[in-house]
Amino acid sequence: MIDPSPRHLAWLAPRFLLFFVLLLFAGQSLQAGPGQHAVASAHPLATAAAQEVLAAGGNAFDAAVAVTAALGVVEPQGSGLGGGGFFLLHRADDGYSVMVDARETAPAAAHPDLYLDADGEVIPGLSLDGPLAAGIPGMPAALGHLAANYGRLSLADSLGPAIRLAEEGLPVDATFLQMARFRLQALSDGADAARVFLREGELPEEGEAIVQPQLAATLRRIADRGPAGFYEGEIAQRLVEGVRAAGGIWTLEDLANYELVEREPVVLHYRGARIVSASPPSSGGIAIGQMLNILAAGGNGYGDDEVQRVHLLVEAMRRAYRDRALYLGDPDHVDVPVARLLSAEYASRLRADIDPDRATPSAELPLEAADAAAGPERSALDRESEQTTHFSVMDAEGNRVAATITLNYPFGSGFMPPGTGVLLNNEMDDFAARPGEPNVYGLIGFEANAIRPHRRPLSSMSPTFVETADRVAVLGTPGGSRIITMVLQGILAILDGAGAAEVVQARRFHHQYLPDRIEYETGALGSRVQLQLARRGHALSPQVRPFGNMQVVIWDRTHDRIEVASDPRGNGSAAVFTPATAPEQRGAP
């Protein structure tokens, strides 16, 4: 029986207080992380590399180092040491979110006419194939930065799985072969890339082993010396000598002066959710923000009508990509009007300009700030392929990483400086080679994205977090210019309650202002929707090739559940596993 005397109450009260405080903290620590690790990446061996590092006591940031390095070995068409990317990080213990910008930079000798002939015409292929197409890589800096500033393990420990994969080799798969066939000429042009990836100038057989001892040696140097093992010393010397001997313009100073930048991500609010995405020099976060703001300007509504939903989304996409072309570029070199582009007033104006019943021809949306008209549209053939890769990680404590990383086109420039094992990017094609000139993805740009020394080319890569009252999602995808609209559709699906598998499986459509057409995957638009959209004046362009390779982790805090999914369009894998137990594999759905 409880003694109600004041003396007894005085004894009980502080103990009750302590009990409630402990309960509160216990609740918070339950909420801080999912208690399980979750990884989704574009290759099972990269997912396994993350698992290995997490099992060794690493956190999500160590796992990010392991996956990044492993993807560069096992999916060399998509990313690698010779490229760059954006890493969106969230640290659970203090709620800090940041974007690590490891985007490539233009060499000091780059200039606006770099890819033009004496008549000012763009020389075909010069910004795509060979070392003149390559920006100064940011990836080695990112690996070192993540390990030193956010990880728990040493850089050498987290690079271990990638070094092993490069030394032991791995069997060629169908995706590698498809992309190598597409880039056969570029890979054949240099002796080193051809020796690693081809067999006497021909494609290897499926299942044949690709072994990369020189890449392993370069990774070991980075493991031993940090990023200086790449940007200085013997490797830097070989990189610069190889690039210059083959017609490139890199210098040792370009490498030594490479600077990674930590940037504030773009933070958006839509339908009660907080959305964190990539800031410039990515166009992703701003374009996604503009599109969501346009939807919000009409009260978020498009009713249940699918035609109206697609029409409105397409008109929002058209306007966001028009502004991408005009205003976005490297924020360290150009004044990007972020606040204006993301303002509710601007979105209301854009929304008011949308005719609910008619497509707005892109030709009627002015390129006011540009001195030149847009160049010719790229044909669908030019956009036959796209690469880049994405992974999503969340550790048991709730640390998370969404990273989209790239060499740009499949196998980047196709050029490997002798004695390095490093395939170089062709990120310089993401600049506007000339005002209004479309790049390989058909994207146009003007002064804000003109080639200048040390500038970062504008990107579409959009690693993203979606945070609602009960769920946290980590997502992203490769896909060239379509990355932004794919991530937008992923965000909307998550806000509509979709699970990870549903998000990655959903069929996708896309509009990018120019070419003025809706591109869509088979099954994305039903026949009634296609007919109605055509009646509204939309040009429709069905695409044979699938869009993207999305990797998603969703933690449902309310139901204490974590879901992962790797896009069925790719060969990736996703896994959830409890710390210190054997991983439970979950392949593509």
Sites of contact with ligand GLY (CB under 6 A): 388, 406, 408, 427, 430, 459-461, 480
Residue 584: how many other CB atoms lie within 10 Å: 10
Judged by CB, which is closer to ligand GLY: 390, or 400?
390
Q: List the one residue out of 278, 272, 243, 264 whose CA is nearest residue 463.
A: 278
In angstroms, give the least distance from the CB of 287 to ligand GLY.
11
Judged by CB, which is closer to ligand GLY: 293, or 388?
388
Phi, psi of 161 (to 5 degrees): -60, -40
d(CA 161, CA 144): 16
DSSP-assigned beta bridge partners for residue 562: 555
In angstroms, give the least distance from the CB of 61 to ligand GLY.
22
* Helix (H) / strand (E) containing 474: strand 471-476
In angstroms, give the least distance from the CB of 405 to ligand GLY.
10
Q: Is 105 noted as a catalytic residue in this protein?
A: no
Instruction: Output the CA angle 322-323-329, nearest 5 degrees.
Output: 120
Q: How far, CA to CA in Å, does 448 sit from each of 59, 104, 120, 458?
A: 38, 17, 19, 9
- What tokens does 207 get? 């299942």
* Helix (H) / strand (E) containing 236: helix 233-245
For CA atoms 129, 84, 240, 164, the dihedral sign is negative
Candidate list 68, 105, 218, 388, residue with the active-site label: 388
Q: Which residue has the tokens 């004046």?
A: 537
In angstroms, give the least distance from the CB of 404 to ligand GLY.
8
Judged by CB, which is closer to ligand GLY: 212, or 282?
282
In angstroms, give the least distance from the CB of 540 to ligand GLY.
25
In angstroms, give the least distance from the CB of 518 to ligand GLY.
20
In angstroms, give the least distance from the CB of 549 to ligand GLY.
14
d(CA 400, CA 403): 10
In angstroms, give the least distance from the CB of 39 to ligand GLY.
23
Judged by CB, which is closer to ligand GLY: 141, or 216?
141
List strands edge to edge, sheet with 561-566.
Answer: 266-270, 273-277, 464-467, 471-476, 551-556, 561-566
d(CA 77, CA 25): 47
Judged by CB, which is closer to ligand GLY: 125, or 542?
125
Long-range contacts at 527-533 (CB < 8 A, ≥ 24 apart): 528/307, 529/306, 529/307, 529/310, 532/307, 533/307, 533/310, 533/311, 533/314, 533/359
d(CA 366, CA 446): 14
Residue 129: how many other CB atoms lie within 10 Å: 23
d(CA 490, CA 498): 9
Amino acid code (one letter) for 294:
I
Judged by CB, which is closer to ligand GLY: 430, or 437?
430
Q: Which residue is nearest to ligand GLY (CB)?
A: 459
Instruction: Output the CA angle 211-213-218, nearest 5 degrees.
Output: 135
SS3 call for 155: helix
SS3 call for 485: helix
In angstroms, give the least distance from the CB of 83 to ligand GLY.
9
In angstroms, give the least distance from the CB of 285 to ligand GLY.
13
* Helix (H) / strand (E) containing 556: strand 551-556
Judged by CB, which is closer to ligand GLY: 239, or 461?
461
Judged by CB, which is closer to ligand GLY: 175, or 388?
388
Judged by CB, which is closer to ligand GLY: 401, or 574?
401
Judged by CB, which is closer to ligand GLY: 398, or 490?
490
What is the Cβ-side half-sphere exposure of residue 444, based on CA atoms within 13 angstroms?
A: 26
d(CA 269, CA 285): 12
Q: How far, CA to CA in Å, does 181 sit from each of 186, 410, 420, 422, 576?
A: 10, 10, 23, 20, 34
Q: Which residues are catalytic?
A: 388
